[in-house]
Structure 1
Amino acid sequence: MSTGLLEKQASVEDVLREVSRLKSVVTEAVEDGVQSAVKALKQGRSAAEDAIYDARHTVKQKPLQSIGVVFAAGVLAGSLLGWLSTRRS
């Protein structure tokens, strides 16, 4: 009977060891995911700041062309919204 008890005890220790190992693997995976997300956010923020800087620079260098582009985009957006609203009616 003591042999069965020792086998069960060894089995429980094996399970606890495996659970501990799995916990470590999951913890590392979560930490890696968080680090990747933070890195992606920083890169996205940097790209957005670069785009804003470029847009400001272009507006300062070519103000009339910038006004024309914004006007054309407004006309296009207005036309699209008008077309969509008449299709639903």
Structure 2
Amino acid sequence: MEAKPAQSEYDQVRDDLRMLREDLARLSKSVADNQKGNISSLRDEIRRESREAFDRVRQTGDEALNSARNAGEKAVHDVEHKIEERPFLSIIIMFLAGLLVGKLLDR
């Protein structure tokens, strides 16, 4: 009589182990799928933030370039204005600067 209860307990344990294996397989698959989704969303977020950082750097570079261009144009305009105010003095200064550079290069 005791053989039947032992056999049924053995069968019950065997069925429980089989169900546990199936549950563990489903859980592993679920975790793996969830991690794939997390990796994909993380990759997309990194890609988006990289693009935003690149755009910010490009915008800062464009602003610096425009600022330098404006400063250069202002300097050229100021020099042109000074030459227009005193053309004779400007010619003399350029002549003297040329002589000075010529003397320095002769040495």
Residues of 2 paired with 1:6 and 1:80: CA distance?
81
Structure 1 match to 2:64:
40
Map 1:1-89; keep pairs closer than 5 Å: 1-83=25-107
SS of 1:47's equivalent?
Answer: helix
Residues of 1 paired with 2:106 and 2:56: CA distance?
47
> How does the TM-score come out when normalised to structure 1?
0.77
Residues of 2 paired with 1:81 and 1:13: CA distance?
71
Residues of 2 paired with 1:7 and 1:76: CA distance?
80
**C-alpha displacement of 1:81:** 4.0
Residues of 2 paired with 1:44 and 1:26: CA distance?
27
Give the aligned residue type for 1:19: R
Structure 1 match to 2:14:
none
Structure 2 match to 1:87:
none
**C-alpha displacement of 1:51:** 0.8
What runs of 5+ residues in structure 1 fail to find an aligned partner? 84-89
Q: Which has the higher contact order (CA 8 A, sep 6+)?
A: 1
Aligned residues: 83
Identical amino acids, percent of aligned pairs: 25
> How does the TM-score come out when normalised to structure 2?
0.66
Residues of 2 paired with 1:4 and 1:66: CA distance?
84
SS of 1:26's equivalent?
Answer: helix
1:40-63 CA-to-partner distances (Å, cap 9, x unmatched) read 222122111111110011111122
Indicate the structure (1 or 2) with the bigger Cα radius of gyration. Answer: 2
